[in-house]
A and B are shown apart, each in its own frame.
Chain A
């Protein structure tokens, strides 16, 4: 039994079958990649997992609880964090404030009225926030406005914001899309480092086979909304069906 169990999920957009009977089982403390050509339904699946889309049928169980029908913020509170294709951060706030918000969300839940005491009065939150910034080597940039960061640092910051909540599952939506090779390698290193330092389950959606094969322990291949195969990276590399779906793209 995996930490995330997706069973028989269907989603139609008008005449398009975006997801057809998708099954997926992600084991605890593994890195699971979901790959597939454009239009395979990867993003739709991810949006179902975070509560942005509600499937027409099927079930999604996370850590023994059903995810379906919950709002994105509720799903985050039960332990799923998401990293976006282009980093979603609070651009107008400082780096430190960016990290404070997930700290408050982790400690106080999705809503708590604290309109009188100053933010600086919450020393436990400050300690946690400083620790995570130190962890991703950004403590010296704490007073910078997030908008002024480089793209790589924005990615790092977003990662820190997710990690400080100690999620059980981290979803990554094409974390290296549009990056140069050097940046891609940095991101791979960052993810490897995160994986080594803590017990975390990751689910990565990715186009770049280099990223997929350097990180993942298990791979699910989607094609036209259907799961094609699920196997170890070694077996996926040589799988004839996968080669067919990618028309040779998977020859890494």
Chain B
């Protein structure tokens, strides 16, 4: 189906359903309940982050997962994409179509330049070169390029901007041919309220398209070449393959995904700053990919989702909420539990993330996807054991 084999097609359908039904799936608890207030993630601002960072890491995985080249400066493409999109808002109009197109193109061109230079080296030197480029972009955005980036204030749309294509009745916020990104429809069903937002659905559609494209790339001859580059570069050149253009292609595709993510971030909220290009942002992308499972198809989306969930949900929990949960216990037990959990919540969410990351790297080097496969394999083995037992019984 759709040019995919049956296993990939199933995976693709699962991702489609997850993305489209996220506003329902991520709100498992009634809105007003204590659990709902703490754990429900089905609100637009967070769901947008799930899918946009999902797109970013899917692209990163095409480079890192297939070729093994670890780019430590991928946030630069995200930042450049955002700037390009905001400039389109300033110059043309709030329509997101030219903004997103330009963000992908500009990030792609930027990736051609950085990739051409960085790919002269491999391994740790490649990583350092990409890191250097990204940090340079970050610093320049604050200094030399202030006219383009508006420096520390950040780039945003002002009333006196040209916006030459802005019609008289055009919405004053990002929109898709009149469909405003931040307008939403709320569905209330007996205590639950599900929010369906235009901006989220636009991003989700891009996630689905991006995911589909990444499956096709993984299964294509070029994908095979990229995996072979990861495996043995020497054999590649003695097999008559010029590895450079393949690597550059992977790097640019990956950069364009990041540019798309940057453009979408700007389309959800039309302002941006240089901090999007800071090295910790690049590091976060690497952590997302490794947590989910490098080189797997769905791992990157999973990793991005989990990190954004922890960042937004665990950091929101505070001692007061904990006391509420443990109110049924005797006071001394309540206090003891709260003081044990205290370092892991609120500002301490990084500790939770760190422990999770360490556990994954040590016990599941293939990421959470490998964990899923292990569990799946365990159940399958149990099933076949049962079947074997069943077959044996009549014989006895």
Contacts and interface: CB of A to CB of B under 8 A. Distances in A.
Most chain A CB neighbours (cut-off 10 Å) among B5, B234, B253: B234
> Looking at chain B's contact residues, is the secondary structure mostly helix, strand, loop, or mixed?
helix
A116 B253 CA distance: 13
B228 A76 contact: no
B119 to A, nearest CB: 14
Contacts of A71: 237, 242
A8 B236 CA distance: 30
* Interface bin, chain A: 35 or more
A91 B238 contact: no
Interface in A69-112: 71-74, 76-77, 81-82, 84, 88-93, 97, 100-102, 104-106, 108-112
Contacts of A117: 3, 216, 220-221
Given A92-B230, A111-B245, A76 B239 contact: yes
B116 interface: no
A111 B220 contact: no
Given A115-B216, A117-B221, A90 B231 contact: yes
Contact of B220 (A76, A109, A118): A118
B147 interface: no
Interface of A: 50, 71-74, 76-77, 81-82, 84, 88-93, 97, 100-102, 104-106, 108-120, 122, 161, 165
30 contacts: A71-B237, A71-B242, A72-B238, A73-B237, A73-B238, A73-B243, A74-B240, A76-B237, A84-B238, A88-B232, A89-B235, A90-B227, A90-B232, A92-B227, A92-B231, A93-B227, A101-B224, A101-B228, A101-B241, A102-B239, A105-B241, A110-B240, A113-B222, A113-B249, A116-B216, A117-B216, A118-B216, A120-B5, A122-B221, A165-B239
Given A77-B240, A119-B219, 20 more contacts: A76-B237, A76-B238, A81-B238, A88-B235, A89-B232, A90-B227, A90-B228, A90-B235, A93-B228, A97-B227, A104-B225, A110-B242, A113-B222, A113-B245, A115-B217, A115-B249, A119-B223, A120-B5, A161-B239, A165-B240
